[in-house]
């Protein structure tokens, strides 16, 4: 039993493929055209045109909150701070994009550990080379007269006169 002839079947397959391709292309065009993306220069234009509002500080609700937001407005009002903030943001973005946070943190940790070791070594050398340093760490410079034991203090914590030994009589 034959419902469609071979020629008719091939004709329907070709028409179906053409229709499906057309619908696919049309759907793709509408999907691409439907995505509205704001160009980056619009953000710069918005910042340039709204700069007077930012500097004036007319953010009434933000002024009511008092946990560092005024410091943020000081940064926005000073152009040098603002440029520095933009440069830091760009540097952070580039670092994030290139996935360099891990290596940078490892290098910072290694450099700080080495700086602490060098600082300790320099401090040790200074303390060993100076008289004040040797006295501070107890290496040299203490006289026996500076040593006060508890048995030579009176009840008020004052130094008592040294007791003379009479061992010669024995």
Closest CA to 70 of 80, 57, 88, 81: 57
> From residue 21, how far is each of 17, 25, 29, 160 by CA, in Å?
6, 6, 12, 110
Q: What tokens were used for 123?
A: 């401090």
> From residue 50, how far is each of 46, 73, 87 by CA, in Å?
6, 14, 20
pLDDT of residue 94: 93
pLDDT of residue 138: 72
Closest CA to 76 of 59, 46, 55, 61: 55
pLDDT of residue 34: 60
CA distance linking residue 132 with residue 124, whole number of Å: 13
CA 119 to chain centre: 24
Residues 84, 90, 95, 99: is their CA dihedral positive or negative?
A: positive
Closest CA to 142 of 154, 150, 153, 134: 134
Going from the first residue of the chain to its last (170 residues), give the mean pLDDT of each consecutive group of 10, the final group possibly shorter: 82 93 86 70 81 63 52 67 86 93 93 94 87 72 52 68 57
pLDDT of residue 141: 46
Closest CA to 159 of 82, 151, 118: 151
CA distance linking residue 63 with residue 42, whole number of Å: 27
pLDDT of residue 79: 75
């Amino acid at each position: 039993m034959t419902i469609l002839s071979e020629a008719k079947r091939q004709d329907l397959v070709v028409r179906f493929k053409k229709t499906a391709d057309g619908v696919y292309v049309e759907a793709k065009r509408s999907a691409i055209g439907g995505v509205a993306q704001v160009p980056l220069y619009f953000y710069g234009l918005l910042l340039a045109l709204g700069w007077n509002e930012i500097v004036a500080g007319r953010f009434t609700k933000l002024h009511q909150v008092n946990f560092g937001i005024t410091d943020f407005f000081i940064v926005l009002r000073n152009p040098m701070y603002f440029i520095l903030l933009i440069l830091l943001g760009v540097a952070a973005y580039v670092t994030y994009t290139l996935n360099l946070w891990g290596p940078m943190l490892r290098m910072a940790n290694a450099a700080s550990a080495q700086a602490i070791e060098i600082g300790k070594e320099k401090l040790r050398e200074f303390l060993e080379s100076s008289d004040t340093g040797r006295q501070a760490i107890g290496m040299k410079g203490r006289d026996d007269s500076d040593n006060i034991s508890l048995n030579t203090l009176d009840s008020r914590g004052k130094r008592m006169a040294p007791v003379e030994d009479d061992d010669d009589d024995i």
